[in-house]
Amino acid sequence: MQFLRKLVDKQRKLYHGEDSKFHKIWPLFDALETFLFAPDFRAGKKGVHVRDYVDLKRVMNSVIIAMVPCLLWAFWNTGAQHFAAVSQMITDGKMVAGDYVTGWLQGFLGAPDLAAEVTSSYDTIVFGVQRMLPLVVVSYGVGLAIEGLFCVIRKEEVSEGYLVSGMLIALIVPPSTPLWQLAIGVAFSVVLGKEIFGGTGMNIFNPAMLVRAFLFFAFPAQMSGDTVWVAGNDSPGKIPGSLIDGYSEPTALAIVKTGGEGSKDLLAETYSNADLFFGNMPGSAGEMSKMMVLIGAAVLLITGVGSWRVMVAGVVGMLAAAFIVPIMAEASGLPMTGPMYLDPWQHLICGGFLFGIVFMATDPVSSPETNVGKWIYGLLIGLFTILVRMINPAYPEGTMLAILLLNAFAPTIDHFVAAANIKRRLKRS
Amino acid sequence: MTTHKIKKGFDLPLAGNAEQVLADAQEPTVVGLETAEFVGIKPKVLVKEGDTVKTGQPIFLNKLDRDIVWCSPVTGKVKSVEFGARRFLNRVTIENSGKDDYVDLPKAPDSGDREAVVKAVKGAGLWPLIKQRPIGKMPMGDAVPVAIFVNGMDSAPLAADPAFATQGRKDDLQAGINVLKQLTSGNVYLTLRAAGSNQSDVRGLQGVTVHDFDGPHPAGLVGTHIAEIQPLKTGEIAYALSLVDVARIGEWQRTGKYPTHTVVAVSGSAAQDRQYFRVRQDAPIAAVCGGSAPTGDVRVINGDVLNGYVVEPEGYLGYGNKTVTIIPEGTDERDLFGWAVPQFGKMTNHLSVNFGLKKKEYVVDARLNGGHRPIVNIGSWEKVFPLDILPTYLVRAIQANDIEEAIKLGLLEVTEEDVALCTFVDPCKNDVGAIIRQGLDMYEKEA
């Protein structure tokens, strides 16, 4: 410990002195240094002389810990879905076992045994790691590089915000997303969505959600439809290489979207409620298992980092909307769509709403700051998610659009809450 | 009597409470009258080095209102007159001859003539004990307060209990109240801790309206009391002072002599004798620390850990100070992976640090425990802030230099002490109090 401290102190001189050799890049050294040792700052001469032990690193770290169950499930399920798809294609005669192309990690650790009746856990996890790890690495690498660059230019300490965004991004894109697209999306989001507003604490939209929205509209072929939710291995000459050629598997919401009156039964044929809850289905990398999301939610609530108001309001808003919208549609003679036939609670276990409301909507920067505002914000996210799911003819899922829309309106919501506060004050005098 | 229950807030579980024992401190050989405590005054010194001054003789005045003077708490020879940058008076030190030769200070008339009472209090050197709300500084100008709030409790961590410090001084208190009553057009409120101890004297005072407060800090701050009892309307002002100050005003009113002594509690984990001392105003810190200045890596605070200023260990107690807190400074102590590992031995209001496993008392030093960041609001401020004000919104309005909006959002209802807990809990280590003061300064400049 002492050794490490001495080493850091020695290096410190190279970066922190005004005319030291590497003074220009001190924010990068500082990020590393404060990762190891808490900074040597003490309270000013006037005012408050003792401080809470919490800091932004710990706050962000709590969120990352909350996401770990989802990440672990992504490692597992990406592999599980992959091998389920491969064996289905072999059974259907669309693929020969010998044509299987191994990926970088499989090439290293050995090809999977496709002849086995049940794919081994080892093969499953190897594939999951092989697919997910590059997503995480690219997301963090590109994002942190840009953040670091901006901090050097601005001469300020590197903020911890991106540590959460980077992980979120890897969890909310389809596992088949090409890495170069992900890199472009991350660069777009960090530069135009965050840094031009002033960096951490200043952005209007949730940076991770912005990446997804960018990819969604810029590369719709790789971000939506029935073929992207199961990842394959890159095979040269096939574009897009990361998909399993010719394999399609619609998500639960896509089934429901086109299902019409019998959508509920149609859904039950493909996925049981247990499948939906435990995440035994294809989807975006990290949001499938509602159980893992709930574990994460518990971590956020216990540590007090995520707002329980937003979470409760979101779930209540969604359930209420899912209950009322079909009734109103029927009463007013609007055409009934598939999602309207689901039980309201089933909307919670389909799609990414739960992940969105737990991890994305609770982002303290892009959500309203006032407690009343948080209730309104959460309720409206629930409502708009259901409106997109039930009434929009094109998109099966509305969580992303609802959260981004409400991010945009968060300052407005706060404004009205503040106006009410001002009005109360004026009334008194 | 009304009891107000404050729900939001946080009592910092700090080690080092002052024991409720009152002793006479050693008489100092020298006292130091300092100007640092009084932000915004323009001092003009009235004595020179070598002069012999009597107890109660004016030493310096405020050029913005020449009636406001600061008096010598001892009889003796002026040892030094120290100036800072631009010849701003910093400090006057006076040797203590050991025998008080009092200047006769005219008492306040009992006629209800407000102006005469004001002039008498100013002339006795006791006006700076009073703080004005809004702003939180010494009252200037002719505005008549709509109420006076006498604070008989202090919920700040390790702070002196005014009820204990004034025990047995019922006559002084009553005389003080009688003076204050003539200063306001409205009520004199006395705020006390609900079911507190040492209150047998104060509960019997005449001419005050008693309000009880219960709950965690900031239940004992005057900002909280005003918001609960009688919120100020636009343009209204109120006076605020502690029960200890009232006793001093009363002592002068009864005797016609300058009240030379005050009661100071010494607390904090790094303090030696943690108890109450009856000590001469402006005495050196050493006078309440067993005769020698505190040594080692310590921080000596005039005031409490949430609202006070650092003094050198060789410094002086100050004029209106009621608590001296001594805590470890924590120089160059840096925790390895402090942000990542659960910390059960650290004081916090966040479950992410200790998972709710609390100790009864914590020894805490002056470290920030993190780097400065832009405001990322995870609701920490709101949890400890009981007033009907949106703290982050207010701070952002000040940061945007929008004073009009800040006033609408309640800027004038708070001072730095009211938002001190927000500073304490903030994961982004912002000094919320400094921002509030910056807003109040802008308001003063514009007004």
| Distance in angstroms (rounded) separating the CA atoms of residues B141 and B120 | 15
Q: State the nearest Cα–Cα gap between B386 and chain A, in angstroms.
A: 13
Mean pLDDT (whole number) for B293-315: 92
Secondary structure (3-state) at B262: strand
Q: Region of B137 please: left (phi>0), alpha (psi -120 to 50) or beta.
A: beta
**A361-414 per-position pLDDT tens digit:** 999 999 999 999 999 999 999 999 999 999 988 888 889 999 999 999 999 999
B 391-420: CB under 8 A from A: 392-393, 408-410, 416, 420
Chain mean pLDDT for chain B: 91
Question: Sheet harboring A46-47: ordered strands across?
Answer: A46-47, B308-311, B298-303, B323-328, B261-267, B275-280, B19-24
pLDDT at B344: 82
Instruction: Show the tokens assigned to B21.
Output: 């024992």
Strands B308-311 and A46-47: antiparallel
Instruction: Kindly indicate the confidence band of residue B52, based on its pLDDT and cuts at 50, 70 and 90.
Output: very high
**Any A CB within 8 A of B360 CB:** no
In the predicted structure, residue B47 carries a pLDDT above the cut 80? yes
pLDDT at B359: 80
Mean pLDDT (whole number) for B255-265: 93
**Any A CB within 8 A of B438 CB:** no
| Helix or strand run (H / E) with residue B83 | strand B76-83
Mean pLDDT (whole number) for A348-363: 92
Out of A46, A157, A425, the one facing B410 most closely (by C-beta) is A425
In the predicted structure, residue A242 carries a pLDDT above the cut 50? no
In the predicted structure, residue A238 carries a pLDDT above the cut 60? no
Instruction: Show the tokens assigned to B374.
Output: 């832009």
pLDDT at A175: 87
Instruction: Kindly indicate the confidence band of residue A241, based on its pLDDT and cuts at 50, 70 and 90.
Output: very low
pLDDT at B415: 94
Residue type at A347 in one-letter notation: H
Across B84-222, the runs of DSSP E, i.e. the strands, are 89-95, 131-133, 147-151, 187-193, 209-214
Query: What φ, ψ does residue A428 adopt, rounded to 5°?
Result: -70, -25
In the predicted structure, residue A254 carries a pLDDT above the cut 70? yes
Mean pLDDT (whole number) for B258-282: 93
| Helix or strand run (H / E) with residue A152 | helix A121-154
In the predicted structure, residue A240 carries a pLDDT above the cut 70? no
In the predicted structure, residue A280 carries a pLDDT above the cut 90? no
pLDDT at A236: 45
Mean pLDDT (whole number) for B292-321: 91
pLDDT at B74: 94
Instruction: Kindly indicate the confidence band of residue A429, based on its pLDDT and cuts at 50, 70 and 90.
Output: low
Mean pLDDT (whole number) for A227-242: 61
pTM (predicted TM-score): 0.91
Q: State the nearest Cα–Cα gap between B35 and chain A, in angstroms.
A: 15
Report the residue of A58, A206, A308 to disrupt the B interface, i.e. the one with the largest count of B CBs within 10 Å: A58
Report the residue of B307, B390, B413 to disrupt the A interface, i.e. the one with the largest count of A CBs within 10 Å: B390
ipTM: 0.91
Instruction: Show the tokens assigned to B401.
Output: 């230099």
Mean pLDDT (whole number) for A62-72: 94
| Distance in angstroms (rounded) separating the CA atoms of residues A137 and A257 | 34
pLDDT at A393: 83
The residues pairing with B151 across neighbouring beta strands, listed in sequence order, are: B191, B242
pLDDT at B306: 94
pLDDT at A227: 77
- Exposed e or buried b per residue across A266-289, where buried means at least 16 C-beta atoms within 10 angstroms of its C-beta: bbeeebeeebbbbbbbbbbbbbbb
pLDDT at B139: 92
**B142-158 per-position pLDDT tens digit:** 899 999 999 999 999 99
| Distance in angstroms (rounded) separating the CA atoms of residues A131 and A428 | 61
| Cβ contact, residue pair B369, A55, below 8 Å | yes
Residue type at B249 in one-letter notation: I
A175 contacts: CB under 8 Å, gap ≥ 6: A74, A78, A81, A131, A132, A135, A229, A230, A231, A284, A285
| Distance in angstroms (rounded) separating the CA atoms of residues A182 and B203 | 71
Chain mean pLDDT for chain A: 88
Q: Region of A351 please: left (phi>0), alpha (psi -120 to 50) or beta.
A: left
Secondary structure (3-state) at A390: helix
pLDDT at B191: 95
On whether the CB atoms of residues B253 and B178 are closer than 8 A, the answer is yes
In the predicted structure, residue B377 carries a pLDDT above the cut 60? yes
**A330-343 per-position pLDDT tens digit:** 999 888 888 899 99
Residue of chain A with shortest Cα separation from B338: A38
Give contacts of B367 with chain A, Cβ < 8 Å. Answer: 38, 40-43, 51
Residue A236: how many CB atoms within 10 A of its CB? 7
Secondary structure (3-state) at A284: coil
Weakest mean pLDDT among B22-31, B67-76, B82-91, B337-346: B337-346
Weakest mean pLDDT among A231-240, A398-407, B51-60, B273-282: A231-240
Mean pLDDT (whole number) for B379-389: 92
pLDDT at A246: 64
B435 contacts: CB under 8 Å, gap ≥ 6: B395, B398, B399
| Distance in angstroms (rounded) separating the CA atoms of residues B204 and B152 | 13
**A177-209 per-position pLDDT tens digit:** 888 999 999 999 999 999 998 888 889 999 999
B414 contacts: CB under 8 Å, gap ≥ 6: B223, B387, B389, B394, B436
Instruction: Kindly indicate the confidence band of residue B355, based on its pLDDT and cuts at 50, 70 and 90.
Output: confident
Which residue has better confidence, A286 or B297? B297
In the predicted structure, residue B201 carries a pLDDT above the cut 90? no
Instruction: Kindly indicate the confidence band of residue A234, based on its pLDDT and cuts at 50, 70 and 90.
Output: low
User: How much of chain B, in percent, has pLDDT values that exceed 70?
Assistant: 100
